[in-house]
Amino acid sequence: MSEEHTARPADERVVLEARGVSKHFPVRRGPRSLLGGPRPAVHAVDDVSLRLRRGSVTALVGESGSGKSTVARLLAQLYPLTSGEILLDGEPARAGRGRAFRAYCRHVQMVFQDPFASLNPVHTVRYHLTRALRIHNRAGNSRQELEEALTELLGRVQLTPAGRYLDSFPHELSGGQRQRVAIARALAADPRVLLADEPVSMLDVSIRLGVLNLLRDLKERLDLAILYITHDIASARYFADTTLVMYAGRMVEGGDSETVTQRPAHPYTRLLLASAPDPDRVTDGEDGEDGGEGRADEPTEDADPAGGEPPSLISPPPGCRFHPRCPMAMERCRTQTPPRFDLDDGQWAACWLYDTPSAVPAGRTGGTAEAPGTGSEAAS
């Protein structure tokens, strides 16, 4: 979307990176399983790698239970990793507790889903923001400097005049205003990375876009790297530059948002897109052939919504985790975990369908697939 970040070398823009990150939560053993056997664990996140670049929004899309919030919490260093590493500016970051954690927080801040729960009901907006400023040594040396910092923060999230909001309690604000206060609090640290975990899903429909537009505006003005976690793939298309799709703890597809939503490669992404509410699906049938441009890659055609549910993460299926629901599952999907296969335009999919160029399924005839790791450019 934005031109400026492609102009510079891509790697300079990477602030936060996850490499092969996994997180397993141990499960308490019942009386029966106490006798032998390995200790069971929920495989919440397995082998996830992603990069967050400055001035760019990365969306992480998935159903509940797919591990997308766990990824955000791992990036915020709220949980210890099971394996893999997190790099801040290319340096491995291991924030423990106390001072090291605070130093990490200065760069990476998080905005939570529920603004009704993330603000303390017995404190005013002034208290919340002052505390954040003080912790990160940005409160200034005098009362006046603090006041200026507070006004500036609220101005950034478009809560003006600041005087009207500073001394109000969370219950006096609407949901959208509360979420703006939560964003202001995250900005108090002057971070470079903002991890937004479903920042609008608890808000009223008519004000969601206002908050998303605010985040986009902040991204541009403050050159922030934003991770936008959502289950709504349409909003990812609207708001994010890059979209990553997660299923059952693994990344299955990634690439430019427009490409992922218009030409989904992984069968799961197609299922997700076919299930998303889309009024055009009904009215197009009635209106006949208007708006027919670029509809050759209709995502709904071949993706007959599959039945079934996401698998248990305590004993995830071997091979590709989507294979029990996949309409195109092959023999090796059941045994081997697919690696990432690069497609055109920076899009990739972890699906065996893209292993050989000849196996390009119908519906993606315009796209090309190339063999993994060879780097040979297939002509399109």
Partner 1 sequence: MSTPETTPVTTDVATAPPVLEISSLCVDYGVGQGAVRALHDVDLTLRRGEVLGLAGESGSGKSTLAYAVTRLLSPPGVITGGDVRYHPRGGEPVDVLAMTPQELRAFRWQEISIVFQGAMNSLNPVHTVRTQLTDVLKAHRPGMSRTERVERARELLSLVGISPDRLSAYPHQLSGGMRQRVMIAMALALEPEVVIMDEPTTALDVVMQRQILRQLVRLREELGFSVVFITHDISLLIEFSDRIAIMYGGRIVEQAGAAEIYRDPRHPYSDGLLHSFPALRGPRRELTGIPGSPPDLKAMPPGCAFHPRCPKAFDPCDRRVPRLAPVGTDTDRSVACWLNDDRRSGEA
**Footprint of partner 1 on this chain (CB under 8 A)?**
63-64, 174-177, 204-210, 213, 231-235, 237-239, 258, 261-262, 271-283, 285-287, 291, 295, 300-301, 304-305, 307, 309
Distances, alpha carbon 240 to alpha carbons 25, 72, 110, 331, in Å: 30, 16, 17, 35
Cα–Cα distance measured from residue 70 to residue 85, given in angstroms and rounded to the nearest whole number: 15
Between 40 and 175, name the residue whose CB sits nearer to partner 1.
Answer: 175
Q: How far apart are the first and last CA of the chain?
A: 22
Which residue bears the tokens 């119908």?
362
Cα–Cα distance measured from residue 180 to residue 219, given in angstroms and rounded to the nearest whole number: 14
Q: Considering the complex, what minimum distance in angstroms separates the CB of residue 210 from partner 1?
A: 5
Q: What is the dihedral angle through the alpha carbons of 303, 304, 307, 312, rounded to the nearest 10 degrees?
A: 0
Between 283 and 315, name the residue whose CB sits nearer to partner 1.
Answer: 283
Between 282 and 379, name the residue whose CB sits nearer to partner 1.
Answer: 282
Residue 130 tokens, joined: 């002052």
Q: Considering the complex, what minimum distance in angstroms separates the CB of residue 277 from partner 1?
A: 4
Contact between residue 22 and residue 81 where contact means Cβ atoms under 8 Å apart: yes
Between 20 and 305, name the residue whose CB sits nearer to partner 1.
Answer: 305
DSSP state of 366: T
Q: Considering the complex, what minimum distance in angstroms separates the CB of residue 77 from partner 1?
A: 28
SS3 per residue for 139-190 = CCCCHHHHHHHHHHHHHHCCCCCHHHHHCCCHHHCCHHHHHHHHHHHHHCCC
Q: Considering the complex, what minimum distance in angstroms separates the CB of residue 278 from partner 1?
A: 5
Q: Considering only CA atoms, which of 89, 71, 84, 86 is closest in space to residue 11?
A: 89
Q: Considering the complex, what minimum distance in angstroms separates the CB of residue 288 from partner 1?
A: 13
Burial class (CB in 10 A: 0-12, 13-18, 19+), 106: middle
Q: Considering the complex, what minimum distance in angstroms separates the CB of residue 257 from partner 1?
A: 9
Between 102 and 281, name the residue whose CB sits nearer to partner 1.
Answer: 281
Q: Considering the complex, what minimum distance in angstroms separates the CB of residue 245 from partner 1?
A: 13
Between 60 and 273, name the residue whose CB sits nearer to partner 1.
Answer: 273
Between 167 and 301, name the residue whose CB sits nearer to partner 1.
Answer: 301
